[in-house]
Structures are given as C-alpha cells and as structure tokens.
C-alpha cells in the first residue's frame, strides 16, 4: 500500500474534521503501517494535553490519539512555525511524542508521500 500522510490543520472543536481524521487513521492502520501524522496550523491543538471539552458541551476525542502508537503508527510531526504563530514554545506537553519541524521541513517530508489527506 502507498505511504500516507495525514495532515491535521483544523482545531479539534467547532467541526468534525479532527474526529473524522482520527477515524480514518485508525481504519487505515489495519491495512498499512506506512502512515505519518502531521499537525499544522490550528491542527496543533488536536494533541494538547488537558483539554476540557465539557465546557463547550462536547466529547473530547483527542484522548484517542494515544492509541495510534498501538496501531503501529510511529511518526508524528508538529509545525514549529504554527506553535510560534499561536504564542507557544517547544516545551508544550503533548499527548503524543512528536517531532517538531519547521514548515519547510514539514513540506519536504510531505512531498515524499504517495497520498496526502487533510483534516
């Protein structure tokens, strides 16, 4: 199967894209382990720890990102430029062990994939 890049570029709440992307990754992981996950733009908020979605009367689906490593997915990348643009530094506590890359490095990595899906 092809190498798949899944890009999360939307915030976890306000739409269903984060949940749908996570569902896709879990499903696709049954067929291939050649999946890498990228968090760019507002998608960086998908993997912040200590989110309380009950305040806005939603379920917190971000806990499910923890099981991706059990599905054989090993490569998680987050955009350093997106962190800085939103006022964060590198020492954020994420729910996943991520590699922090510049936007240029992320673009170069994504170019190596056969299939790119954006959520």
Query: Measured in whole angstroms, how far is the alpha carbon of residue 49 from the centre of its chain?
Result: 13
CA 67 to each of CA 57, 82, 108: distance values in angstroms, whole numbers, following the listed order: 24, 24, 27
Q: What's the rounded mean pLDDT across residues 76-89?
A: 92
* Domain-wise residue ranges, the chain: 4-118
For the stretch 85-97, pLDDT in tens is 998 876 778 888 8
Tokens of 7: 């890009």
**Contact yes or no for 35/6 (Cβ under 8 A):** yes
Cα-flanking dihedrals φ and ψ of residue 36, to 5°?
-125, 145
Tokens of 9: 């570029």
The top-level CATH class assigned to 4-118 is alpha beta
Mean confidence (pLDDT) of the chain: 86
Residue 14 reports pLDDT greater than 80: no
Claim: this prediction has a pTM higher than 0.85: yes
> What pLDDT shows up at residue 40?
97
């Amino acid at each position: 199967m092809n190498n798949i890049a899944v890009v999360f570029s939307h915030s976890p709440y306000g739409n269903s894209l984060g949940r749908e992307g996570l569902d896709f990754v879990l499903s696709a992981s049954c067929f291939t382990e050649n999946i890498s996950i990228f968090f760019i733009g507002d998608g960086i908020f998908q993997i912040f720890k200590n989110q309380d979605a009950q305040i806005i009367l939603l379920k917190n689906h971000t806990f499910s990102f923890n099981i991706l490593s059990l599905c054989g997915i090993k490569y998680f990348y987050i955009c350093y430029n997106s962190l800085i643009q939103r006022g964060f530094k590198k020492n954020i506590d994420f729910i996943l062990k991520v590699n922090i890359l510049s936007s240029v490095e992320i673009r170069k990595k994504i170019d190596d994939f056969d299939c790119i899906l954006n959520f």
